[in-house]
Structure 1
Amino acid sequence: MGFSSPNSQLLSKIATNELHGENSPYFHGWKAYDNDPFHPIQNPNGVIQMGLAENMLSFDLIEDWIKKNPRASICTSEGLNKFRDIAIFQDYHGLSEFRNAVAKFMGRVRGDRVKFDPARIVMGGGATGANELITFCLADPGDAFLVPSPYYPAFGRDLRWRTGVQLFPVMCNSKNDFQITVEALEEAYEKAKQSNIKVKGLIIANPSNPLGTVLDREALKTLVSFINEKNIHLVCDEIYAATVFSAAPNFISVAEIIQEMDCNRDLIHIVYSMSKDMGLPGFRVGIVYSYNDAVVNCGRKMSSFGLVSSQTQHLLASMLDDEEFVEMFLRESAKRLSDRHKFFTMGLEQVGISCLKSNAGLFVWMDLRSMLIEQTVEAELELWKIIINQVKLNVSPGSSFQCVEPGWFRVCFANMDDATVEIALKRIQMLAGQGKEKEVAVKNKPWRKNLRLSFPARIYDESSVMSPRLMSPHSPIPHSPLVRART
């Protein structure tokens, strides 16, 4: 007696569909790193992880604070007296001291130019959970959100996979440094309408992932005017707000903009987290801040599926309430990010590699268009395979970010120590040098499309990096590193 495939008979559509997005170069690069991770002694020829947008440059500051404040943790003898209060069930509204501290911190990060109401703070399991929560609140399956490209690859997972909502790219390009224009917004909106797709909102990341740029006041006002005219929602992902490392242009929150203009505040929502600004993605602290009472009420009910642990809330409430520490941390973190960004981009410039001008985020938008054999996505992916397999760096190709121009790559620089970033930089410089040599050698040759750079390191079997049949280590399973960090 034969049996049908379990995928078609016994599992849900979510369990068997491909909408999670893990079968993309963005996640396959993680697989290459996990299979052969760099270690300065044990594996010096391994893959260096430059696809993970984590801020590890200021861990020592947080560690020092924890040592000096043992009462903040219920797992110390000094803080044990709070154990029973924190260990019991907590209302899904969250600890009041936590919401108060987060609201104050959000205001501080935004230069104290705007105040946030603790009663409007809704918790989610990291920014991933917060983004999905707000999507569930605002849209039905089949509805769509406009998203300016290039945009964070895992938005497909966060916003689309379980909700059934569609993402409709707003095409931006390098002619104006990928700035969002009214014309591009209108074109995307009309295309969606012509396809009988109901547009429920516009989602932006400010500061941008992957560009590392911030939106100026006029651009934000334009976006607010656009959504107000169309009567659709605006979701501002501001999780990189405190990673701005130079004074100009400074970060401006949409919360500040709506204080300056008339608009329907029920359409305005902010996503925030502790993952990037504080470098704590493992704490899974995600925040939805909505000006819409119905969204806040619905979000509170839904947050029971992705609460932040009360132990984490208790610790962070104490830390964020320490104004002297917060001031010092934000100042020193910005300085360290600035120093690392300057060191890395100057190293690239030495070999003729430029990046989009930026002053925020944990990454650079690196321009390798001149290294492509032809200006196609296929050529970009061929170069990406060389970088992964031979140069041994996990960087993310622009096509994963829905970039319309082949040859751009996101490169993360804040998730490693100084020695490792120097090694990574030398590998990229070697790539640039060999690329120029090979370009001269194959010029005007009919076989130039088969260009491969030669490096001494072992070359992977491409199927181990690209095959969708292999289970990625970032599949949505309990032990997956994907659940530990929003990259």
Structure 2
Amino acid sequence: MLSKKASCDSHGQDSSYFLGWQEYEKNPYDPVQNPNGIIQMGLAENQLSFDLVESWLATNPDALELKRNGGSVFRELALFQDYHGFPAFKNELVEFMAEMRGNRVKFDPNNLVLTAGSTSANETLMFCLAEPGEAFLLPTPYYPGFDRDLKWRTGVEIVPIQCTSENGFKITAPALEEAYQRAQEFNLKVKGVLVTNPSNPLGTTMTTLELNHLIDFAVAKEIHIISDEIYSGTVFNSPSFVSIVEAVTERNLEDTELWNRVHIVYSLSKDLGLPGFRVGMIYSNNQTVVSAATKMSSFGLVSSQTQYMLSQMLKDKKFTANYLKENQKRLRKRRQMFVCGLKGAGIRCLKSNAGLFCWVDMRHLLKSNTFEAEKELWMKVVCEFGLNISPGSSCHCSEPGWFRMCFANMSEDTLDVAMQRVKALVEPTMVHQSVVSKSTWLQTKWVFQLASYDREPDR
């Protein structure tokens, strides 16, 4: 006899996003041991700047060896610590968050709640802000894991805000209103909107216009805004990143009700490339939310050792400034390599300026404009060509043929192999299409709305 929660299939594990991972784990690529294995392009992980962190640790051994001024702090850290977190660590975190935003906004460490990663942070906010059966609106496409993180244990529903390629998947006021009305039709009380900024899977930062649409909507409907900003330090091209707190502050809304309904989720998993350290956080000006979330954090604490080591690292402002600058430089270079490789295979991407992935347009490779055809192509890519990528349907995209492909979790050599496999995938299609007349070719979907794509310089 098991609980309904344990025996039901609402976890979302049957999503193609997770199924692709399962295939990869059965046959992972290794350049020497398994050169024909599956290359992992479904993992949004930053491995480009490990050397910077490792270099800092090598020159600051006290942090890793749990010492202070040469003396051991092991016993101090090994004993029980309450769930409020180390004040020194929280102070460094809010300064790091401000640094990434050009110090245009400041954060109060008393409004910060530590969690075991952003997954825990997002779920905790769902518990704090909504009852089972109430809803949050999310713009599509969105991170597939949200179907698990937000819904599985909380019972909260997700209603999609349908965004399309016609405007580069940007959020519009009509789309927000349509999603709200759809929720009303299903008798779902809307408690808020959750966005990822920069976007996962689009790799784009929200524009000022989008942020203002979001703010106006939240004010009019008297609902919450959750801004998941875990990729804020990965912005490598203009336009620059604007946090929801900055957008609200610029409109002088600090003394309004909205100020207490704006919440930020952040972590060190993406920007510092430390997902295994499980450092996430909630930032909120709502003291009731902070108090409740702090109590809930006892179910997923950040270890004392981790807090101590990272507080020493983040205290080194010279290191953090250099890391952010160099990491963004490396991401920009890697993305350009990736996009140029795809372009060589006749594939284009949505123009992006952040993140560890690209939103890739493979609509011209579909046999038909259907999600069945997308699934067929996805299975072919994974099983025949050994690339685990995430299909748009797993991200609830309304248009078949889009895929998320990650580029920062592998070496340049592995990326070269991946691009060779992409070209091998496309070549038979291109041969077939070469017999199509020029007039018909110019009408195919992959050249439609070219303005929303990257136009990389020829090299």
Q: TM-score range by the shorter chain?
A: over 0.9
More divergent stretch after superposition (386-395 vs 429-438): 429-438
Residue 151 of structure 2 aligns to a residue whose secondary structure is helix
| Structure 2 residue aligned with 1:373 | 367
Within a 5 Å distance, the mapping from 1:224-373 to structure 2 comes to 224-246=215-237, 248-261=238-251, 262=253, 263=256, 264-373=258-367
Deviation of 1:74 after TM superposition, in Å, equals 3.9
Q: Does structure 2 retain, via aligned residues, the 8 Å contact 1:74–1:311? A: no
Alignment pair present for 1:92 and 2:83: yes
Q: CA deviation at 1:178?
A: 0.2
Residues 1:395 and 2:389 are matched in the alignment: yes
Question: Cα distance, 1:78 vs. partner?
Answer: 7.3
1:21-420 aligned at under 5 Å gives the runs 21-75=12-66, 81-246=72-237, 248-261=238-251, 262=253, 263=256, 264-420=258-414
Moved more, 186-195 or 201-210: 186-195
Shift of 1:77: 10
Query: Residue 230 of structure 2: SS of its match in structure 1?
Result: coil
Deviating more after overlay: 426-435 vs 205-214: 426-435
CA distance in structure 2 between the aligned counterparts of 1:13 and 1:228, rounded to whole angstroms:
37
Question: For each residue in 1:402-445, what CA deviation from the matched residue of structure 2 results, as whole angstroms up to 9, or x when unmatched?
Answer: 000000000000000111011101111111112222456899xx
- 1:72/1:79 contact within 8 Å kept: no
Report if the CA contact (8 A) 2:92-2:314 is conserved. yes
Please give the alpha-carbon distance, in whole angstroms, between the structure 1 residues aligned to 2:436 and 2:337.
Answer: 33
The one-letter code of the counterpart of 1:208 is S
Question: Structure 1: where are the runs of 5+ without partners?
Answer: 1-9, 444-487
Taking structure 1 as the reference length, the TM-score comes to 0.87
Count of residue pairs the alignment pairs up: 433
Amino acid aligned to 1:221: N
In the other structure, the counterpart of 1:20 is 11
Q: Deviations over 1:112-143 (max 9, x none)?
A: 11011001110111010011011110001000
What is the alpha-carbon distance in structure 2 between the residues aligned to residue 406 and residue 79 of structure 1? 59
The one-letter code matched in structure 1 to 2:409 is N
Give % identity.
52
C-alpha separation in 1, matches of 2:86 and 2:78: 12
For 1:351 and 1:385, locate their aligned partners in 2 and report how far apart those are by CA, in whole Å: 19
Question: Contact 2:67 / 2:73 at 8 angstroms: preserved in 1?
Answer: no
Letter in 2 for 1:362: L
Tell me by how many angstroms 1:360 deviates. Answer: 0.3
- The residue type equivalent to 2:173 in the other structure is V
- Secondary structure of the structure 1 residue equivalent to 2:265: strand
- Change in Cα spacing, 1:79 to 1:356, as seen in structure 2 (3 Å) is farther
Q: Which moved more, 1:119-128 or 1:255-264?
A: 255-264
TM-aligned CA deviation for residue 336 of structure 1: 0.3
2:241 alignment partner AA:
F
Structure 2 Cα separation of the partners of residues 418 and 79 of structure 1: 39
Partner SS state of residue 325, structure 2: helix
